[in-house]
Structure formats: structure tokens, C-alpha cells
Amino acid sequence: MVRHLLFILAIVGLFLKVNSQDIHFSQFYYSPYQLNPANTGHFDGDWRIANIYRTQWGAVSKPFNTIGIGIDKQIRYYSQHFGAGIYFLNDQSGGANLTANKIMLALAYHTRWQAYKIHGGIQLGFVHKKYGSNISFPSQFDWGTGQFNAELPNNESNLQDHLSYLDVNVGLIVSRKMGAFEPEFGYSVSHINNPTEQFSNVKSRLPLRHTWHAEVRTELSEKFFAIPRILIMNHKRAGDMVLGVNLGYYLPKNNFYAQSLFFGPHLRTVLSTTDALIFALGLNFKNMDIGVSYDINVSSLSKASSHRGALEFTLIYRTRSSHPKTIAIPCNRY
């Protein structure tokens, strides 16, 4: 019981700090809008809907639940190629009942320069955060009962239970096809307007979050492929890195239109400390991708969590593209 209480207090403290790390996902490659604004419209199709759900730390406390859903569309104006979309994210942070809601509008531009594909995007949105009334403060500890009592005064006269601000993110992605390889590199900066985020009268601005990500799709044979990936995030003193590979198999023709199956082991480190082993499994259909992953906690918190970490479900659906990939010039027969 004591270790569970210490675990909960540590997690609550992390989430109540203004300079804590932003929300992140294990299947970052299936959360395109949260990963990089340049992903808006960066897909093969006319419309795309992407959904991701993550639940964490249910073994030791009230689960931390996060859900994100977004929709984006290709926009072609003569020879110009744009992408526009909207993204919503809701995060419930366990026993602290800290709730974060984000709604972001996005616009991206896609072009080519020689053999390179270049994608640039921007997100502009609104963020609202609040915490529940069940939060206890040191002054509310009842020495007579040995428990916290929410009916006692908290002596926090300058504390508010909600906050909101505008947020701006930008990003860039570059890729190139090189035979059997297709490397892609991305970089994004979040909170470029340094919004004020505070629950008390102590003014504090949200620092920049830098995200680097890369992947290389490799055709190993006619039946097998591999996609090694890396994600590096830095948010002031908080750091996160995910490194791994998805190994895939092209399925034979079937009635379910399933095209490939993949399995992916990944490793997450936080500030040079191994945090979790991640295992992902998924199916790729003609117009849809489905993925599930599980984090095995191997950090110092594993004694309290019994190595149980996070479970994620992802689903991405794309409509067919109405834009021709090749242009044919008709001619009369003679």
C-alpha cells in the first residue's frame, strides 16, 4: 500500500509541474497529427481519419487515459498541393484528475525539389486544462484520523483549478526514394509562442518541445519488409527516445483485403534510463491500418507496477485517392 501511495504521489507531482513532458505515444508513427504538423495531408488518399487510445498505470492507480482523433484532407489547387485538418486530444491523468483538452487546426504544404519530397506544416489551437476537487494539500492532513480531509481549508488562496491558452506548432518532413530504401526525416517545434501555463500566481511559460523522428522503409524481399524508426523528444529538462523496428510480411491475396502483417519491438529511454520495452502488432489493409502495442515497464517504478505499463490501440482509415499518379495523353488511332 505504501509503495502504491508513493507511486501515485510521484506521478501526480510530475503532471502538476508546468515543465513536465508533453503527452507521448508508443505508436508515434500512427499518431501523425501529434507527431508533426507536416503530416497533415501526407498520405495516399483524399481523406484520412486517425484515432489512437492509450491507457497506462492501471496496475497501481487510477489509469492515465489518453485519446486522440483527427481528420485531414488533400487539397490540390492547380499544380499546388496542400493538406488541411483538425485534431482533438483528451488526456486524463490518473488519481489527480488532471484533464487536458486540445483542439488544433492544421495546414501543410507539400512539394518536390529534385528527387526530394518536402512537407511543411503549422498547427494553431486551443488548450484547456483543469484538475479535480479530490486533490489534497499538506494543510488538509487530519492528524486525528491520519488521512487527508478535503473539507479542511487548503490555504491556497492564489490557486485556480483551470487554465487555457493558444498553442502554435510547426514542422518539416523530407523524404527520398533510393532504390529499395525510402528514408524519411522529420523535425517539429511545439509551443513556439511560449504560452503561459500556470495554476497559481507564479507566472511560468511553456518551454519549446523539440521532436526529431526518422524512418527507413526497406523492401527485404518480395514477401518481407522492415521499417526501422527513431523518435527523440526534448522538452526542457525532460527527454524521451523510442528506438525500434517494425518487421512486416506481405500477405497472399485474401477476402479481407489485408495486405500485410507487422510485428515491432521497440525500446524507450528517458533521460538515459531504460523506461520500457514496447511490442507492437498490426495489420495493414488497402485503406486502413490497425495497431496494438504494450509497454513493459522496466524502470525503477517496475516494483510498484509489476512491469505493467501502457496499452495502446490505433486505427487509421483512408479513402481512395482521386488524384491520378500518372498522366496519359490520348491520341487517335490510325
Provide the pLDDT confidence category of residue 329 given band limits of 50, 70 and 90. Answer: low
**pLDDT tens-digit series, residues 111-166:** 999 999 999 999 999 999 987 665 666 666 667 776 666 666 665 555 667 789 99
Give the span between the Cα atoms of 183 and 278, in whole angstroms. 23
Whole-number pLDDT of residue 8: 38
**Beta-strand relationship, 162-176 and 116-130:** antiparallel
Average pLDDT over residues 86-90: 96
Whole-number pLDDT of residue 116: 96
Provide the pLDDT confidence category of residue 250 given band limits of 50, 70 and 90. Answer: very high
Whole-number pLDDT of residue 143: 72
Q: Is it the case that residue 102 has pLDDT exceeding 80?
A: yes
Q: Is it the case that residue 105 has pLDDT exceeding 70?
A: yes
Whole-number pLDDT of residue 20: 47
Ramachandran angles phi, psi of 62, nearest 5°:
-60, 130
Ramachandran angles phi, psi of 11, nearest 5°:
-65, -45
Whole-number pLDDT of residue 111: 97
Could you tell me what percent of the chain has a pLDDT over 70?
Answer: 76
Average pLDDT over residues 299-322: 81
Whole-number pLDDT of residue 66: 94
pTM for the model: 0.83
Give the span between the Cα atoms of 62 and 47, in whole angstroms. 36
Given 3.40.50.2000, 3.40.1050.10, 2.40.160.40, 2.30.110.10, which CATH number is that of 2-136+160-318?
2.40.160.40
Q: Is it the case that residue 286 has pLDDT exceeding 60?
A: yes
Length of the chain in terms of residues written: 334
| DSSP H stretches of helix in the chain | 2-16, 32-35, 302-305
**pLDDT tens-digit series, residues 196-228:** 887 766 677 889 999 999 999 999 999 999 999
**pLDDT tens-digit series, residues 57-84:** 666 667 889 999 999 999 999 899 999 9
Q: What is the mean pLDDT of the chain?
A: 84
Average pLDDT over residues 243-259: 94
SS3 for 108? strand
Give the span between the Cα atoms of 150 and 97, in whole angstroms. 15
Provide the pLDDT confidence category of residue 237 given band limits of 50, 70 and 90. Answer: confident
User: In sequence order, which residues have a C-beta less than 8 Å from that of residue 179 and are 6 or more positions away?
Assistant: none
User: In sequence order, which residues have a C-beta less than 8 Å from that of residue 98 and are 6 or more positions away?
Assistant: 12, 15, 16, 91, 92, 129, 130, 131, 132
Give the span between the Cα atoms of 74 and 80, in whole angstroms. 11
Cβ 173 vs Cβ 191: under 8 Å: no
Q: Is it the case that residue 294 has pLDDT exceeding 50?
A: yes
User: In sequence order, which residues have a C-beta less than 8 Å from that of residue 217 and are 6 or more positions away?
Assistant: 181, 182, 184, 225, 226, 227
The beta-carbon contacts of 177-182 under 8 Å, at least 24 apart in sequence, are 177/115, 180/218, 180/219, 181/216, 181/217, 181/218, 182/216, 182/217
Whole-number pLDDT of residue 163: 87
20 compared with 170, residue with greater pLDDT: 170
Give the span between the Cα atoms of 63 and 310, in whole angstroms. 9
Pick from 165, 127, 164, 121: nearest CA to 33 = 121
The per-residue DSSP string of 281-313 comes to EEEEESSEEEEEEEEEE-STTHHHHTTEEEEEE
Amino acid identity, residue 179? G
Q: Is it the case that residue 1 has pLDDT exceeding 50?
A: no
